[in-house]
Structure 1
Amino acid sequence: MAFKASMEQFRDKTMYRRLSSQLLAALQQDVSHVRGERTVENGNLQGLKGFEFNKQTRFHRVCRASHQVQLNREKGTVDVTFDKFDPRYELTVPKHTTHFKMMLTVHAINFDTHQTDSYSTLTSTIPLHTQLQDGLALHLDFKPNDPRHLIVSLGIIFVEILDGREYEIKAGIHNAMCITRVYEKQALVTQPAKPSAATILAHKPVALIPPTTLKRQHQNSTRKLHRSIIGTKQVSTAQKMELIE
């Protein structure tokens, strides 16, 4: 599963059920297929934005530091930059926390073929009492020009360092991660096939003849067809009326 690696750091037994519900909602918004043929791949995945991997600990509640996310699909890069902040005031941390880490992931997913690739990066441990005057930056590379859905997640991990050893805080139940951006798949643009000579001849445009010209041609044909009768002096009045009509 695409999110398996993230689940090792952000544990929540309800995650699979909640994520399945979100994917079902995305499927129901597929407007390109009729009911019974709808797919997640063609649904509206923007509803995944803000999804919390750990329902008990919401990312934006424990991390209030301002940050920006920039993704470049063509180059295959994603950057998250935090403005300068003081962790002691911008983070809500569990008891015994001395340090924290930031985690950035990108999942490239095709829901039809089940082809997935996951990329992640983790900062080093950052002391809780250190003011980040220069802010904080996370950079991640992935496959350039990947046409699949790209899902960006950002998380925070709390740890305690004691006697030089790193310990999880209560088995990671306070760690938080959420989907912060969803970049839906790129539409495939196909170039139209070059028509063959036979196709061009078969679809050769026909010049349109104005109605007045058609009427005139019809009248001339009628005159030629009945010229012998009209030119005969012995033609009856009834015949003349019939020709006029």
Structure 2
Amino acid sequence: MARQSGIIPLKGTIGNITFYKTKAGHLAREKGGVDASRIATDPAFVRTRENGAEFGRAGKAGKLLRTAFRAMLMNISDSYMSSRLTREMVKVIQADATNVRGKRNVIDGEAELLKGFEFNSNGRLGGTLYAPFTTAIDRTAGTLKVDIPAFIPVNMLASPAGSTHFKVQVAGAEIDFEAETFVNSSAASTELPIDATPTTVMNLAVNVTANSTKPLFLILGVEFYQQVNGALYSLKNGLYNALALVDISGMPASPGGGSA
């Protein structure tokens, strides 16, 4: 891959060179590679097939997780989020100590490795909300919650220019990666002014299936608004809205002590 440096950027293919545009600029690369049928059958490419299978599994798992939280993800802007999540899902799958290479999966991996994942690298929760908070997942009751003590917004929020109000949101999801289904729920504070008035204590809780045997995920986010003539408008570009995975409960232990 090489960067185009000419006055007029090219798009398309000339000979064995393909010219294309990305967010990183206009690039060029040489066509080539191993024939797909050989990769699919040649014993020399067994590792490639194993890696490909697990990467595909990671991509599918990441898409399911994104779908479960789609309502909140619609309010953030990060064009590389999907690829970043897939990369982290690969790590989850590689932590599977039960299955052989190529057969490893999210269920037998370590879903907890996703804790702390920032859905918006442009507006990270860790660099947006400085108020302390605690999380808890009660698998028996099917309750996921975030508790935030009272705080002064102007001191404890890194708010984008033009914003006058904010809202704190949580969402929980119970995800069945094998059946590709999920149960989700969300809750939010009211829209609050970004000023020196302390907030009330926030106890935001959501519910999924009680006694679930599936991985449970809890996300926390901050969305910003601008007040114009008494009306609140969401900052639609979502560039600085923060959202992160703050707590995860993977597969519960089986009665025999192993993974379910």
2:221 equivalent to 1:155: yes
Instruction: Provide runs of 4+ in structure 1 moved above 3 Å.
Output: 187-190
Query: What percentage of aligned pairs have identical amino acids?
Result: 28
Normalized per residue, which structure has more strand? 2
TM-score using structure 1 length: 0.73
Match of 2:234 among 163, 168, 177: 168
Map of 2:182 onto structure 1? 116
* Match of residue 34 from structure 1: 100
SS in 2 for 1:5: helix
- 1:187 to partner: Cα distance: 3.2
| Cα distance, 1:84–1:123 mapped onto 2, change above 3 Å | closer
What amino acid does structure 2 have at the position aligned with 1:179?
L
After superposition, give the CA deviation of every residue in 1:108-130 in whole Å (9 maximum; x if it has no partner). 11222212122111221011125
Contact 1:160 1:168 (8 Å CA) reproduced: yes
Summarize the Cα distance change of 1:116–1:144 in structure 2 as closer, same or farther, 3 Å threshold: same
Distance 1:132 1:142, change over 3 A: farther
Q: Distance in 2 between matches of 1:165 and 1:55?
A: 29
Report which of the two has the higher share of helix: 1
Letter of the 1:144 counterpart = A
| Cα pair 2:139 2:212 within 8 Å, conserved | yes
Report which of the two structures shows the higher radius of gyration computed on alpha carbons: 1
In structure 2, the gaps of 5 or more residues are: 1-66
TM-score by structure 2 length?
0.69
The CA RMSD over aligned residues, in Å, is 1.6
Question: What displacement does 1:90 show?
Answer: 0.5
- Please point out which of 139, 146, 149 is paired with 2:212: 146
For 1:183-239, what per-residue CA distance to the aligned partner results, in whole angstroms no more than 9, with x for missing partners? Answer: 01223438xxxxxxxxxxxxxxxxxxxxxxxxxxxxxxxxxxxxxxxxxxxxxxxxx
Change (3 A) 1:130 1:143: farther
Which whole-Å deviations, capped at 9, do the CAs of 1:32-78 have from their partners, x for residues lacking one? Answer: 01112111111011220110110111101110001111221111222
> Could you list the runs of 5+ residues in structure 1 that have no partner in the other structure?
191-245
Alignment of 1:137-216 (within 5 A): 137-169=203-235, 171-189=237-255
Between the aligned partners of 1:76 and 1:44, the Cα distance in structure 2 is 20
Structure 1 residues 16-25 or 76-85, which shifts more?
Answer: 76-85
Asked if the contact 1:70–1:79 (Cα under 8 Å) also holds between the matched residues in 2, the reply is yes
> In structure 1, what is the Cα distance between the partners aligned to 2:149 and 2:69?
28
In 2, distance between residues paired with 1:13 and 1:133? Answer: 33
Q: Between Structure 1 and Structure 2, how many residues are aligned? A: 190
SS at match of 1:55: coil
SS in 2 for 1:24: helix
